[in-house]
Amino acid sequence: MAGSIASPLLLLLNMAGALLAPRAPQTQSLPSSADDGDEVDFCFFPFLVLYKSGRVQRFMGTDTVPASVDPATGVSSKDVSINDDAPSAGLAVRIYLPAQAKANGTAKLPLVVFYHGGGFVTESAFSPMYQRYLNALASKAGVLVVSVDYHLSPEHRLPAGYDDAWAALQWALRSARSGLAEPWLHRHADLTRLFLIGDSAGGNIAHNMAMRADREGGLPGGATIEGIALLDPYFWGKRPVPSETRDPEERRMKEQSWSFICAGKYGADDPVINPVAMAGEEWRRHLTCARVLVTVAGLDVLSARGRAYVRALRASGWAGEVELYETPGENHVYFLLKPDGEKAAMEMEAVVAFINGRRVSTASGRKFVQEK
């Protein structure tokens, strides 16, 4: 999302984006096919239009900022290209190193591998919105962050994004072991404290990477995932869960948008989009982490599915700890759009506390539930 757009407009776009539904556009709001003879094939409101020629026009999430030293936090960032070979040519990451690591050249820090949101179709690791959020997270939590710039749909339909996310995770762990590819990781990453974190679509990716780690026979160097934090995660399913919309047209449009993202490869009840449908044995066998944090926003249409994820995980007999953090009266990923607000600060503290192994105390205006 463009950093120059006013916050109220960003919020409106975000609310619409949370619906993840293609809509018939107003004639004046979209490029007309008469302008260049290129007919519209699919409108994924409010993110993009795909034309029948294959051309993609994005309306948000395309602004970038360079890596830098953040004057507010002292966090340093840099970009690294990690794979120039097919099928993931051009895969890159942005790495964040907090000031405390620079002050102590041998400091070992928790490693966070972060996956950005954007409906699998927009945003990047170089977005000003994520640059701000991850500078703050690296500083407040005292963590080394690897933010993954996975390829986007529809140019690269799922599972391309999942495969990129997996390749980047493996690269980060190998680099931390060998030091040949990236000295920051080799010098500072503590692989006994590995966390996968993502918002919206990135939360979906973080969950699926934790499941994939077991299915692929483990992580490089014997690394294990301590925790995953799914921030307003993007999950869905054919049948509504408690408190989820039952409007048939709205549900049809959500299924249609998901089919667009993955070119129909995964159905609406495939575990990659609907982990709630998994059998308990699947959770117990494959979810390779000790702790899970799920955050939801009370006004977010996706919040019901996030709560259902927590209930399903708890009911599965999975041996770890799962925590639910809810912010009433807010919309999908509000903490990115309104980062200076009190609620955003409290949610950041919840994520920091989760990484550092502390339980967040209950405060006015939020709910925090821990289950074993």
List residues with catalytic annotation: 200, 300, 332
Residue with tokens 């290129």: 38
Which tokens hold the place of 113?
């591998």
CA atoms 311, 315, 317, 321: torsion sign:
positive
- 18-57 residues labelled b (16+ CB within 10 A) or e (exposed): bbbbbeeeeeeeeeeeeeeebeeeebbbbbbbbbeeeebe
CA atoms 304, 47, 238, 165: torsion sign:
negative
Q: Where are the beta strands (DSSP E) in the chain?
A: 40-44, 48-51, 56-58, 76-83, 91-97, 109-115, 144-149, 189-199, 225-231, 289-297, 321-327, 367-371
Question: Can you tell me the distance from the alpha carbon of 257 to that of 265, in angstroms, rounded to the nearest whole number?
Answer: 13
CB 77 within 8 A of CB 70: yes
Complete DSSP assignment for 75-134: -EEEEEEEE-STTSTTEEEEEEE-HHHHHSTT--EEEEEEE--STTTS--TT-HHHHHHH
